[in-house]
A = this chain, B = another copy of it.
Amino acid sequence: MSKIYKITEIIGTSPRSFAEATQNAVKEAGKSIKAMGWFEVDRLGGRIEGDRVSEFQVKLKVGFRLLSPEELKKA
């Protein structure tokens, strides 16, 4: 069987950096998705309060492999 991947779009946030916002998004996605393999950044942005960035936001496309029935039994 040929491999099939799916893409999900998710936005992570962090008060400190784009990298941490990315980690937070991936960690959260991992609660419902198995076999994540890679991500691409679709957009960077954030919220401002006063004259400070209060929230860094990273919009990600996360790619994951659809598991075969055999793999799902073991997972």
Chain A binding surface, main DSSP class: strand
B52 touches A47 (CB 8 A): no
B23 touches A53 (CB 8 A): yes
Knowing A26-B51, A27-B52, A44-B41 are in contact, say whether A8-B10 is a contact too (CB < 8 A). no
Who on chain B is nearest to A60 by CB?
A: B45
Extra pairs beyond A2-B24, A5-B13, A19-B56 (8, CB < 8 Å)? A2-B13, A5-B11, A6-B9, A18-B19, A23-B52, A26-B48, A26-B52, A38-B47
Q: Which residues of A contact B (CB under 8 A)?
A: 2-19, 21-31, 36-41, 43-48, 50-53, 55-56, 59, 61-63, 66
